[in-house]
A and B are shown apart, each in its own frame.
Chain A
Amino acid sequence: MSIRINVADQMGSKKMGPLALVSLIILVIGMFVLPRYLKNAQLIMMSRIFLLAVYGMSYDILRGYTGFINLGQAIFFGSGVYMGVIFLNIQNDLTYFMLAILAISALSVIGGYIMSKIVLKTGGVVASAMITLALGEIVRSIAERWRFVTGGQDGLPMRASRVALDPLFETRIGAYYFALVFLIVMTLALRQFVLSPTGRVLLSIRENEQRSRFLGFDTNKYKAIAIIVSALASGWTGVFFAVIARFANTDYLSIQYTLNALLITLVGGTGTLYGAIIGSAFVTWINNFLLTLANSYPGATILRFPMLFIGSVYILLVIFMPYGIMGGIYRLQAKLNLGKDK
């Protein structure tokens, strides 16, 4: 018998068991101790995992909770990366980092608002997905032509600063901790958001938007809030990402990076929020693995097309793990509990 559960609905309904709590604490402490034993390349990979996890969660707010497919999510992420590089190129310290955060916040709120105004006119899921796709491509092509600011296709590298570099941005360990704290804070914040009354209405929209309207909820307003919250989280992640990537180009604005978020939520499990953390680890690892493989066997032409493998992973996942890793775990748990009751 297949069990129907709604992970999002059950979130936070039970107190965490002592075992789960202890393992979570050990995991977090472990993450704080870990950098001592890692090389620079591994530190970068871990930081990427943390940041892409937040990006995935921000995407899950729309896809998993609201049932809204945004194919232009990378606009906010990519803009964040650009803001980070642009501001830290002026001066490489925490003040300018915060200014970049402020700038992307304003941009995300305005951009998210405009996007929701355009998209929510149509109503249909597919139609709005297509519109967001078009919006994403428009922004990306503008960025590509606007060489003066974005550096076009060559991209925008972060200049080595002439003033004393903030240790936070100079060492990879600094960036690691920076990303880790960001992940923890954002996980708690987004969890709070999905558990709020507004988050609940978003769930109802995913379930049955018409009914939600007949309960008196102005669903378009709620969807606009979801788009803006998600845009903010993605934009902030972008600024943090600039610190570890030390480079911005239009790839970060492209559909490729939206699909990354989609893949992360797919692997982790849509509508599970934390699933994005597992998804991010998996996707980052597989990308890294393919890259290493391609470098070790330069003769193998097939390895130069990583999308070939990642695309296959997509297909296999949708067929064999429709609920993703976290979704699968929750379902297994529900099945075991069902056995216990009887």
Chain B
Amino acid sequence: MSEIILRTENLGISFGAHKAVNNVSLEIEKGKLTTILGPNGAGKTTFFNLVSGLLTPTTGKIFFKGTDVTNLSPIKRVEAGMGRSFQLTNVFPTLSAHENIRLAAQSHQKVGFKIFTNHRKYKNVNEKTELILERVLLKDKKNTLACDLTHGEQRKLELGMVLALEPEVLLLDEPTAGMAIEEVPAMIEIIRNAHQSGTTVVLIEHKMDMVKILSDRLVILVNGSVMADGDPKTVSENPEVLKAYLGGGMLDEVSS
């Protein structure tokens, strides 16, 4: 078995009496693409919020590269090598696409608190920005404000921002959510490239077909708990999983 890069131990959070995430213990292997699948309200995004530091868990611990990061701020977790994208598009709306990515590159290159040099003068940041813009297919849109991009382009921009951070673990929260169907293959290609260059990817998804092609491993989350875990083929044919999915009204996705 390969090295464990991210591990949760009995991770849980309650909102009042509702246990959104309940005793989730997962081990994410380095270099693998793991997908977390589940019906709406299963606690997938909440799980990401816990791992990335947006929420503090009520129970359990999170270990990243062997260190306990449960009480670290999101900023520290990014510094340690975690990068996440958001389900609802989360960019800097009235900054250009180029500036959105450039800021991420600036963070990654550790430019620091410089207050008297022009931000355009950092060659490594600029090169990195151009590279990422090319990778997420936004090169000819780089001077467009993020809010004037189409939804699909915003999703790519969002992914580009995380990629520019060059994280060791990439947490992607439904990167294709709301995208037009013809835009999806390009997005999958970007994710696959990132994964093949050695990045560990944890993906939250709804689309079963997309998941089957991409993933090394599939985790099914239902009502905040892990229901099934294993290689995509076995898990997707598990009768219990199929039943849960029927309950979540996801028949079409499963049968397609």
A-to-B contact residues, CB < 8 Å = 4-6, 9, 12, 192-193, 195-201, 203-204, 207-208, 210-218, 221-222, 225, 229
Contact = CB atoms under 8 A, between A and B. Distances in A.
13 contacts: A4-B94, A4-B148, A6-B94, A9-B96, A12-B118, A197-B106, A197-B113, A197-B119, A198-B115, A200-B102, A200-B103, A207-B92, A222-B113
Contacts of B107: 215-217
A191 B160 CA distance: 29
Majority-rule SS of A interface residues? helix
Given A6-B96, A192-B115, A207-B94, 9 more contacts: A6-B94, A192-B116, A192-B118, A196-B116, A197-B112, A207-B93, A211-B92, A215-B161, A215-B165
B18 to A, nearest CB: 23
A122 B38 CA distance: 36
Interface in B63-78: 73-75, 78
B232 to A, nearest CB: 29
Contacts of B91: 208, 211
Contact of B79 (A9, A197, A216, A229): A216
B147 interface: yes
A203 B52 CA distance: 23
B123 interface: no
B145 A6 contact: yes
Contacts of B118: 12, 192, 195-196
Interface residues of B, number: 39
A214 B74 contact: yes
Given A215-B104, A215-B165, A199 B74 contact: no
Contacts of A196: 114-119
Interface in B110-149: 111-120, 122, 145, 147-148
Contacts of B75: 213, 216-218
Contacts of A198: 113-115
Nearest to A225: B113
A123 to B, nearest CB: 13
Nearest to A229: B115
Contact of A6 (B73, B78, B95): B95
B116 A193 contact: yes
A217 B92 CA distance: 14
B229 interface: no
